[in-house]
Amino acid sequence: MEASANPFVRIAGIVTLVLGVIFVGAGATTWGMVTSQLTAEKITVPKDADMFAGKEVKGPFTAYAQAQVINKHALKGANGLTYAELGAKAKEAEAAGDKAAAEDFTKQRTTAMNGSFLRASLFTSVLAYGVSALVIGLGLLQILTGLVFMRLAKRDVA
């Protein structure tokens, strides 16, 4: 017998398969780029980390662990106060005429700000890994769907 009378099924299968391959390639490329950039920074998770202590930051889990340690250190350096809280304290001290305290809070605020920036960068990496994994997974699903469509297109018409 001849192949499926609906050529759309075969074309949809090919298009879906090709898109799946592109998705897997794009996701894997992004994963590799983020990994190479993190590795180039030569960051090691400090020994006081809750997890992955002493490991190089080369992936999503070590990046997350490093971000958590930075938060811990930034809070310690700012006496447990956040960037916003330190700004309020600096304004209060300045309004009270205590320039020394205002300067101290401002220095602590700079430490908190730097910690926030570093954490945001690491969380961006973690997010990029998540999106890459999602794209790879969707690509694999598209490949499977494309193969199914192509197989359906080859079925004999009864």
Q: With respect to residue 2, please indicate whether it lies within any of the assigned structural domains.
A: no
pLDDT at 77: 84
Q: With respect to residue 70, please indicate whether it lies within any of the assigned structural domains.
A: yes
Distance of alpha carbon 40 from alpha carbon 56, whole angstroms = 10
The domain total for the chain is 1
Q: With respect to residue 146, please indicate whether it lies within any of the assigned structural domains.
A: yes
Q: What is the pLDDT of residues 108-155, one digit of tens each?
A: 999 899 999 999 999 999 999 999 999 999 999 999 999 999 998 887
Contact 151, 16 (CB under 8 A): no
Range of the domain at 56: 7-154
Q: With respect to residue 1, please indicate whether it lies within any of the assigned structural domains.
A: no
Q: Looking at residues 52-59, what average pLDDT do you find?
A: 96
Q: With respect to residue 51, please indicate whether it lies within any of the assigned structural domains.
A: yes
Q: Where does the pLDDT of residue 1 fall: very low under 50, low under 70, confident under 90, or very high at 90 and above?
A: very low
Q: With respect to residue 115, please indicate whether it lies within any of the assigned structural domains.
A: yes
Q: With respect to residue 40, please indicate whether it lies within any of the assigned structural domains.
A: yes
More confident residue, 7 or 57: 57
Distance of alpha carbon 117 from alpha carbon 67, whole angstroms = 10
